[in-house]
Structure 1
Amino acid sequence: MTASPLRRAPLALALFCAVSTLLAGCAPDAAPPAAQATAEAPKAATSGIDLAGIDKAVKPGDDFDEYANGAWKRATEIPADRASLSTGFYVFEKAEKRLSDLVQGLEKANPGAGTNERKIADFYAAYMDEAGIEARGIAPLQPKLDAVNAISDAASLSRYLGAGMRADTDPLNATNFYTENLFGLFVAQGLEDPSKNVGYLMQGGLGMPDREYYLAGDKDMAANRAAYQAYIADILELAGDADAEKKAKTIFDLEMKIAKAHANVVDSQDIHKTNNPWAVADYAKNAPGIDWTAFFDAAKLNGQQTLFAWQPDAIRKLSALVASEPLQAWKDYLRFHAINHSAGLLPKAYADLSFAFYGTQLNGTGKQRDRWKRALGATDGALGDAIGQLYVKQYFPASSKARVEDMVKNILATFRDGVDKLEWMTPETKKTAKAKAETMLIGVGYPDSWRDYSSLEVKRDDPLGNALRAEEAEYRHQTGKLGKAPDKKEWWMTPQTVNAVQLPLQNAMNFPAAILEAPFFDPAADDAANYGSIGAVIGHEVSHGFDNLGSEFDAEGRLRNWWTPEDAAHFKAATDKLVAQYDAYEALPGLHLSGKQTLGENIADVAGLQAAYTAYHKSLGGKEAPVIDGMTGDERFFLAFAQAWRAKQRDAALRAQVVGDGHAPARWRALTVRNIDAWYETFKVAEGETLYLKPQDRVRIW
């Protein structure tokens, strides 16, 4: 999961293949659209475990991921159009097929003009019109290119940069705000004053995913840099630019300076380093270089009194670059990024160049996804709530909602009980922790209200314009929240997203409908498997409220240190052990995981798995778990957890995740079990086996 103060990183962004937003919603005050009757959960009939995927030749204590998933890995190939394959992908495929059926059904139904259904159908149809895209060429982008060409001085450059700023809804998982946007804007409640929403200015401006792609010294990153500069030249040459190679070098050199200005991932995750309220009037003094008056006016932010500088040093350095670098270099840079940003909706030659670099070079993917899948993803990204409303009406029964809500309540209760039993925690800190757990908002399936898309213009013959207008509409939606009281029940994922999220500023959790499918949640499966899979996901998100970031926020979502020094010292000692544990994992030769970078997610994995295990045993009500498929309840619980994290990943994608993501790759998340005492007893793990940890070395946090 990525980690922002308002939005704690999604559970497995890189491997769960979460669709950003798929089909978006109708009237903002529409009633919850699930079935009315709450059915009793069906009696368990299956173990919920993929028996064929287990490799019994491997000792569980030597490599539990290989034991649980080794046979599946040998029998499974990553599709040519994907960088990875995981359990989440199969669930995603089911959601994608359902969404395709919904969209195709809308096209046949011929909905009325102006309705959400019409907008969904037209957005999708426009994206699929390859012949029209080829015929129009680069002309749909010409107004933007003309705006770049019209830049004549520092003020007009600043206005262009301000007008192009867009909303960043996940700042810590994407510490670089992509494309020509030198800055991104994140909107959330104030860190110390939760009564109103404020804006946070984020670093951006890189064409590759993270500063390490520019600065790391290994040969793979050097190859990426060479390929990127060649890609810039190819795009410019295709667009008819003279001196494309010379311009490509100028653009790359400018981005290298931008990368050197950036804060790294770990610093961007430090919430205390982001708490920098700058008066808008002081930006010119604090970060000279940009014409901030022109920038904020164009960004529609000139009415704000204060904007927080998330990465203040980076903002200072980026602003200085605006003044120090030649104006023509900026114009070349902005022209390239305008084309690059929209390459997927330009003629095929542009889209193919973009995929060859971003898909094949950076992620190792050999084949571009089918156009209908890309069209569906783009439609979902633009109109997510509209499709979500349709999705839950058709595919999410009230019985599933009720059963998962009960699981969440059980795990929250287990967590509160666990706090009471902590010998190291002082009564004062226990009281605050329990208050936070007791008031945590649970969102299962779908939100209480839906996004209003009435102002978004969608044209059946303007795919590029539709995409750009949708981005602008999202920006307006986010800036429209500035100065207003936060909506504590706001969702940051659509129902059709295969993911889950903890929201520390809202003290809330979202579990979208699409992740509540087998094998994560199977109404026909035994509780052991459901607690081991979706239960551990729930425990993970609950635990995020109390990890190294979540523990900085109280029940109101206010940034407040509610730990005593003694409690904080114990917590740090435990987390230091977890950092060391993950630092030791080697993903690729010479490339180790960063325990500090992934700490928040690793804490949540350990604490969440323990909470889910305890809640599972509590759900048995003192009875013995049945033996199913020759496995005890505990065996099924731990196997379900590891199989939920089964994955295969191309080396390039693995490298990208290790370098820039806040999550450990799936294989090492499956090894979380080595910190749980019950796993040792269940699988008879003995000293001398690879994963064995002495009891005192096992990480116990909550």
Structure 2
Amino acid sequence: MKKISTLALGIALSLGLAACSSEPTTKVAAVSGIELQNFDASVRHQDDFYYSVNGKWLANTPIPADKSNYGAFSVLYDQSQAALKKIIDDAAASTQAAPGSNTQKIGDFNASFMNTTLLENLGVSPLTPLLSDIASVKSHHELPALMGKLLVNGSGIPFGFFVNNDAKNSSQYAVYLSQSGLTLPDRDYYLKDDPKFVATRQAMAQYVTDILTEAGYQDAKRAAKHVADIELMLAQGQWSRVASRDANKAYNKLDREQLQHLMGAFDFNAFAASAGLGDKVSAVIVRQPSYLEQLGEQFTRFPVAAWQDYLAFHLVDSYAELLSQKFVDVNFAFKGKTLMGIEAQEPRWKKAVDGADQVIGELVGEEYVKQHFKPEAKARMETMINNLIKGFEVSINELEWMTPATKLAAQEKLAKFTYKIGYPDKWKDYSGLEIKADDLVGNYMRYARFEYQGMIDKLGKPIDRTEWGMTPQTVNAYYSPVKNEIVFPAAILQPPFFNMDADDAVNYGAIGAVIGHEISHGFDDQGAKYDGDGNLRDWWSDKDREEFQKRGQQLAAQYSKYEALPGKFVNGEFTLGENIGDLGGLTVAARSYLMSLQGKSAPVIDGLTGEQRFFMGWSQVWRRNYRDEELSRRLLTDPHSPSHFRAMGTPRNIEAFYRAFEVQQHDKMYLAPDERVKIW
């Protein structure tokens, strides 16, 4: 990880000055990086910039039977899977792997996943010890300790538990509790009478019945009713996703006595002892207090037998994909087909690769980086990141709506950003994780305990700044508000996001906008509540905060008008953070690209100007086809807007787009100047 050099504060740089470093490979590129074959000539760029750039690809690219959606991310994901398969196959073929070595762990994990004959013989038996623990409970008093044990072993319980930087004291780790415990994707599936939701609830009842029957339950229909009743209660107590986004409302630090009082009949201390917390934790940050309060109030109103059925189902559900084929099939029929519209299961090898990525991700990731990530890609990314940081600095200084004091505070935060590119400087130590060739479920349970203990062991120790939240082979990127860092795994640094052979314009429109997106998360409607040290602290003047919120509300209203499916619209409030990230990221990337030219004119390539290629680079990375079930699910659960509205909704607000394509008032992409939102 590199520390970004301190930026000069309060110095405004005009757009044409040499504010950004030139790229190490600056030259007239042989290729534009724009995939012209995907253009739909029947759609004007000025009318729908998503379909004009991607229309042929969208029309001619079916969604594979084993996927719920397919797009540019999916192509890179498939490439990553294929690369990992070769790494895993090589390890599996080794005859001289020392016990405990990386090669042994990789090879034996794959063997445990691919030995379907053994899994058929085992059936549900790998879960028998924990199922017996559940069946032996005789009172409500014993249930919290049981839940602690189940949590440590990777099973679902009614609330989530994790360790992260304390949002108001980011130099220390803290324990967080959050609402959880539902089988369906969102509380709306339980609470609304939409016919599709009613049908999904009925399908869930059948799923619970079928999977518990396969697990040997004598009265699985009764158990399914208990599961439905408890999950309805949990859903009724849950906060909406919009409310849960509020960083201030979701920070509620309670000492153990206050937490126990909040949870009433639920013995949190017994849970904590079973979960290995002991006296390590004197306070807990509760994200949705009223949810835990209702859980405590309702806890003893459900008989012990109902909670046993609920916990047994969630245990089997958590591990169903790792059991015999009947469990796998029943799980897929509901979670794959019903909830996401997927037509066919993935080949076994793909599931094994995904499993290795989850359980021993940095073991395979270390080899992935050696084979597939070039040092020059990291160097070029460093240059681009620093250019985007400088572009953001200029943008802050030129904001007409922000007062000097708040600008200074924003610049101070920007100066403290750190970044990570490609892979960790320090690889994760898996020496404490035992992997066996004949114990797939055991491998996952040991992994769950290994990860859990690693999380608990952080408490009371300094913050580990080397830790990554994604593996290098992940096609994604992220911003951490409590660490004030942006992270770009190796796998996303490939075309169409990042093309080493292409002109800079497309790279700034693609990975440059992604970089800008992650930086902008530090200044979105929630990220802007944290300071440069990662602390939840108000650094805004009242006037600036009010204007910032006004602009955010305008953007939310704009996106809420986009209809993704008949009668189903984007939730502009839920997606606001990501939409601000897109708008800020693309705006600053456009500025940074022009600054990187250092006053020179961009070359015309493929008949396209630099600014045109820049925006096309943005649009082409978002191409994606969705199944209706998956898109419907994402409208409720995904804080990102659907790809169509990311590609065309963002540039509608940016003046440079209007210049690049001569967008006029009669064009469908046109927004009146007073309707265009500028935040950063």
The residue type equivalent to 1:113 in the other structure is P
Secondary structure of 1:442's match? Answer: strand
1:606 equivalent in alignment to 2:583:
yes
On the 8 A contact 1:154/1:291 being kept in 2, the answer is: no
Other-structure match for 1:556: 533
On the 8 A contact 1:179/1:205 being kept in 2, the answer is: no
Deviations 1:459-495 (A, max 9, x none): 1000011011111211111111122222234221111
The residue type equivalent to 1:492 in the other structure is G
Deviation of the 1:315 alpha carbon: 0.9
The residue type equivalent to 2:500 in the other structure is P
The residue type equivalent to 2:112 in the other structure is A
Q: CA–CA distance in 1 between the matches of 2:427 and 2:517?
A: 26
1:232 equivalent in alignment to 2:208:
yes
Deviation of the 1:676 alpha carbon: 0.8
On the 8 A contact 1:43/1:524 being kept in 2, the answer is: no
Deviation of the 1:42 alpha carbon: 7.8
Secondary structure of 1:502's match? Answer: strand
Deviation of the 1:41 alpha carbon: 6.9
Deviation of the 1:54 alpha carbon: 0.7
Other-structure match for 1:284: 260
Return 5+ residue gaps in structure 1 as ranges.
Answer: 1-37, 168-177
Other-structure match for 2:657: 679
1:189 equivalent in alignment to 2:165:
yes
Q: CA–CA distance in 2 between the matches of 1:293 and 1:634?
A: 60
The residue type equivalent to 1:164 in the other structure is L
Q: CA–CA distance in 2 between the matches of 1:467 and 1:74?
A: 40
Other-structure match for 1:97: 82
The residue type equivalent to 1:684 in the other structure is E
2:292 to 315, 325, 334: 315
On the 8 A contact 1:65/1:667 being kept in 2, the answer is: yes
Q: CA–CA distance in 1 between the matches of 2:115 and 2:504?
A: 47
Deviations 1:265-316 (A, max 9, x none): 0111111112111111332212202112211100112221001111101111
The residue type equivalent to 1:311 in the other structure is Q
Secondary structure of 1:584's match? Answer: coil
> How do 1:443-458 and structure 2 match up within 5 A?
443-458=420-435
- Judged with a 3 Å threshold, the aligned counterparts in structure 2 of structure 1 residues 101 and 39 are, in CA distance, closer, same or farther, namely farther
Deviations 1:595-653 (A, max 9, x none): 10000000010010011111111111211111111211111111110110110000110
Other-structure match for 1:30: none
Identity %: 41
2:51 to 45, 66, 74: 66
Deviation of the 1:588 alpha carbon: 1.2
Deviation of the 1:40 alpha carbon: 5.1
Secondary structure of 2:169's match? Answer: coil
Other-structure match for 1:215: 191
Q: CA RMSD in A?
A: 1.5
Secondary structure of 2:248's match? Answer: helix
Deviations 1:542-570 (A, max 9, x none): 11111111110111111111010111111
1:427 equivalent in alignment to 2:412:
no
1:397 equivalent in alignment to 2:365:
no
Secondary structure of 1:455's match? Answer: coil
1:360 equivalent in alignment to 2:345:
no
Q: CA–CA distance in 1 between the matches of 2:120 and 2:589?
A: 53
1:464 equivalent in alignment to 2:441:
yes
Secondary structure of 1:272's match? Answer: coil
> How do 1:679-698 and structure 2 match up within 5 A?
679-698=657-676
1:117 equivalent in alignment to 2:103:
yes
Other-structure match for 1:20: none
Other-structure match for 1:495: 472
Deviation of the 1:582 alpha carbon: 0.7
Q: CA–CA distance in 1 between the matches of 2:285 and 2:130?
A: 29
1:82 equivalent in alignment to 2:70:
no
On the 8 A contact 2:93/2:107 being kept in 1, the answer is: no
- Judged with a 3 Å threshold, the aligned counterparts in structure 2 of structure 1 residues 218 and 666 are, in CA distance, closer, same or farther, namely same
On the 8 A contact 1:159/1:298 being kept in 2, the answer is: yes
Deviation of the 1:248 alpha carbon: 1.1
Q: CA–CA distance in 1 between the matches of 2:413 and 2:76?
A: 32
Deviation of the 1:423 alpha carbon: 2.3
1:337 to 293, 314, 317: 314
The residue type equivalent to 2:71 in the other structure is S
Deviation of the 1:431 alpha carbon: 1.3
Other-structure match for 2:521: 544
2:392 to 383, 398, 415: 415
Bigger mean CA offset, 56-65 vs 513-522? 56-65
On the 8 A contact 1:520/1:533 being kept in 2, the answer is: yes
On the 8 A contact 2:477/2:518 being kept in 1, the answer is: yes
Deviation of the 1:335 alpha carbon: 1.2
Deviation of the 1:337 alpha carbon: 1.4
Other-structure match for 1:241: 217
On the 8 A contact 1:42/1:524 being kept in 2, the answer is: no
On the 8 A contact 2:92/2:110 being kept in 1, the answer is: no
Q: CA–CA distance in 1 between the matches of 2:367 and 2:197?
A: 43
Q: CA–CA distance in 2 between the matches of 1:81 and 1:381?
A: 19
Other-structure match for 1:34: none
On the 8 A contact 1:673/1:679 being kept in 2, the answer is: yes
Other-structure match for 2:487: 510
Other-structure match for 1:6: none
Deviations 1:321-380 (A, max 9, x none): 322211000111111111111111111011001001000000000001111001110111
Other-structure match for 1:374: 351
Other-structure match for 1:13: none
Deviation of the 1:390 alpha carbon: 1.3
On the 8 A contact 1:49/1:529 being kept in 2, the answer is: yes
Other-structure match for 1:161: 147
On the 8 A contact 1:538/1:608 being kept in 2, the answer is: yes
Q: CA–CA distance in 2 between the matches of 1:241 and 1:657?
A: 33
Q: CA–CA distance in 2 between the matches of 1:85 and 1:374?
A: 17
Other-structure match for 1:663: 640
Q: CA–CA distance in 1 between the matches of 2:638 and 2:400?
A: 34
Deviation of the 1:43 alpha carbon: 6.1
Q: CA–CA distance in 1 between the matches of 2:26 and 2:212?
A: 59
Return 5+ residue gaps in structure 2 as ranges.
Answer: 1-22
Bigger mean CA offset, 243-252 vs 121-130? 243-252
Secondary structure of 1:85's match? Answer: strand
Q: CA–CA distance in 1 between the matches of 2:215 and 2:260?
A: 36
Other-structure match for 1:29: none
Give every structure 1 segment of 4 or more consecutive aligned residues whose post-TM-superposition deviation is greater than 4 Å: 38-43
Give aligned pairs, total: 655
Q: CA–CA distance in 2 between the matches of 1:616 and 1:421?
A: 17
Other-structure match for 1:175: none
Q: CA–CA distance in 1 between the matches of 2:331 and 2:229?
A: 20
Deviations 1:65-94 (A, max 9, x none): 111111111111000000000101111111
Normalising by structure 1, report the TM-score: 0.91
The residue type equivalent to 2:421 in the other structure is V
Deviation of the 1:237 alpha carbon: 1.7
Other-structure match for 1:203: 179
Q: CA–CA distance in 2 between the matches of 1:603 and 1:210?
A: 24
Secondary structure of 1:387's match? Answer: helix
- Judged with a 3 Å threshold, the aligned counterparts in structure 2 of structure 1 residues 166 and 664 are, in CA distance, closer, same or farther, namely farther
Deviations 1:220-249 (A, max 9, x none): 111111100111111122222222222212
Other-structure match for 1:642: 619
The residue type equivalent to 1:148 in the other structure is I
- Judged with a 3 Å threshold, the aligned counterparts in structure 2 of structure 1 residues 636 and 166 are, in CA distance, closer, same or farther, namely farther
- Judged with a 3 Å threshold, the aligned counterparts in structure 2 of structure 1 residues 438 and 92 are, in CA distance, closer, same or farther, namely same
The residue type equivalent to 1:210 in the other structure is D
The residue type equivalent to 1:682 in the other structure is A
The residue type equivalent to 1:687 in the other structure is Q
Q: CA–CA distance in 1 between the matches of 2:70 and 2:677?
A: 29
The residue type equivalent to 2:194 in the other structure is D
